[in-house]
Structures are given as structure tokens and as C-alpha cells.
Amino acid sequence: MSSQEKRLAGEAAIRYVEKGAIIGVGTGSTVAFFIDALADLRDQIQGAVSSSEQSTAQLKKYGIPVLDLNATGPLNIYIDGADECDPQRRLIKGGGAALTREKIIAEASAKFVCIIDSNKRVDVLGTFPLPIEVIPMARSLIGREIVKRGGQPVWRDGVTTDNGNWIIDVHGWQIADPIALEKDLNQLPGVVSVGLFARRPADVVLIGDRLMD
Ligand code: 5RP
């Protein structure tokens, strides 16, 4: 069911792709369905800005040009998945460790279309452990700061991000005020990015092929 909804969402997102556009492309199994569908339109778009080595490889496999965000400037559209989504379209992301580049592309894009299956829809964010990308030498420092804030930090041992950093997954937080927590964590030295997309939420959410209210 969940995989079927991911495929429907990935395919439905194609309706946001305009002729001649440069598409911001996220990461994950739902986005992989979107890239599969995008392959049919490869001759009608200029290319894509990719959020990960994984998505870059899939885009290149289909012959879709992968462009540098510094060269493209702002984008009209960004398509990406999420690990959780609340009623205000605020998200937890980073299950695939690509949160930093995803956040950069979301910020650079006029419209962020988030594609999820219904299991990702929650009332309060935090059941999915919150990923935080950190500079390796700051892992313990940041872990202690998380404990002070009532969270349980777990190092995603063995995972190095595309930027050469590490991931801490924070368990045990029911996130009542995602904007405040995002701001607070962003200020800790050594935090590269927080997997809360609250200050810049999604603009549109597709659950399968249905638009979320
Ligand atoms: C990667 C992400 C993904 O969007 C998120 O983990 C959802 O992945 P999937 O579509 O495989 O369920 O944030 O960093």
C-alpha cells in the first residue's frame, strides 16, 4: 500500500513540471518514482538540480542533465518526499541523510511540492526520529545539548552524508513548536542542518495522487 501510494505521488507530481523548466529534485524512494516518470519528459525540460548523489545517478541514467544551483539561480519548482508531515505542511526530513542539500533547494524554490504516502501524515511531528546533520567533531557536544532539551540522540553510525558529515537521529520529541525548535537547534555550533522544514514548509502536499487539504 505504502509503495503503491509513493508511486502514485511520484507520478502525480509530474503535473507540476512545466515545459522548459529546471526541476529541483529531492531524494528517496518516493522521489525515485518521480524521476522514473520525469524520464518521459526529458526532452521537454532543461534539466534538474539534484539533492543527492543517489538522485544524481538516477537522473543521469535517464540522460536528464544535472545542473549546478549556483548557475541556475532560483527555481520555480522543487519536488521531494518527507518522513512526516503535519497539517501546516511542516515536515521532518532526512531519513535518507540528504537533508542539507534538500533544505538548500527548498529555500531556492518558489514552490515546494511534497510527495508522501498516508503513513507520513501526523498531527504532531516527532514520532519519526528527527535527523540532524552535524560536523563530526561536534557530535558529542550536540548530543549533550539534545539531552538537555529532553531528546535521546542516536548517532547514525556508519553513515557519512554527501557533504562528509554525520547524522544524529533524535528520538522522544513530540515537537509542539517546530519553528522554535528549528531555530534553537540551528544556533548550536556544529549543526549543519536540522531535518525540520518548518520555517520553510511545503507549499503543496500530495498524499498518493490526492492533494492534502
Ligand atoms: C531524504 C528524505 C526523504 O524525502 C525521506 O526520507 C522520505 O523518503 P522515502 O520517500 O524513501 O520514504 O528526506 O533525506
Residues with CB under 6 A from ligand 1: 6, 26-30, 80-83, 93-99, 102
Cα separation, 80 vs 76, whole angstroms: 14
Which stretches of 66-204 are DSSP H helices? 69-72, 99-108, 139-148, 178-186
> Is residue 43 domain-shared with residue 99, that is, in the same domain?
yes
Q: Kindly state whether residues 90 and 166 are assigned to the same domain.
A: no
Point out the ligand 1 atom lying closest to the alpha carbon of residue 31: 10
Based on the domain organization, do 205 and 180 belong to the same domain?
no
Residue found under cell 557519512: 160
112 with 156, same domain: the answer is no
Residue 116 has a pLDDT of 98
Mean pLDDT of the chain: 98
In the prediction, which pLDDT does 213 show? 87
Number of domains comprising the chain: 2
Do both 156 and 204 map to the same domain?
Answer: no
Contacts (Cβ under 8 Å, ≥6 apart) of 156: 97, 131, 166, 167, 168, 169
- The CA 28 to ligand 1 mean position distance, Å, reads 4
pLDDT for 90 equals 98
pLDDT at 180: 98
Q: Mean pLDDT, to the nearest integer, of 150-167? A: 98
pTM (global) more than 0.75: yes
Domain shared by 46 and 26, yes or no: yes
Query: Which among 118, 117, 51, 122 has a CA at the least distance from the CA of 89?
Result: 122
Q: What is the CATH number of the domain that holds 64?
A: 3.40.50.1360
Per the DSSP assignment, residues forming a β-bridge with 23 are 48, 77
Same domain, 72 and 10: yes
Stretch 80-91: mean pLDDT: 98
- Asked if 173 and 150 touch (Cβ cutoff 8 Å), the reply is yes
DSSP tag of 125: B
Residues 73 and 161 occupy one common structural domain: no
pLDDT band at 161 (very low <50, low <70, confident <90, very high): very high
Residues 112, 205 within the same domain? yes
CATH code, 168: 3.30.70.260
Q: Are 113 and 143 within one domain?
A: no
What tens digit of pLDDT does each residue of 117-140 get?
999 999 999 999 999 999 999 999
Grid-cell match 498516508, residue found: 118
Same domain as 144, residue 93: no
Interval between CA 169 and ligand 1 midpoint (Å): 14
Residue with the three cell numbers 511531528: 125
Domain around 68 = 2-122+200-211
Confidence of residue 1 (pLDDT cuts 50, 70, 90): low
33-77 pLDDT tens trace: 999 999 999 999 999 999 999 999 999 999 999 999 999 999 999
Which of 83, 104, 119, 133 should be mutated for ligand 1, with most atoms under 8 A from CB?
A: 83
84 part of the active site: no
Residue 26 pLDDT greater than 80, yes or no: yes
- Check whether residue 79 and residue 159 sit in a common domain: no
192-205 pLDDT, tens digit per residue, is 999 999 999 999 99
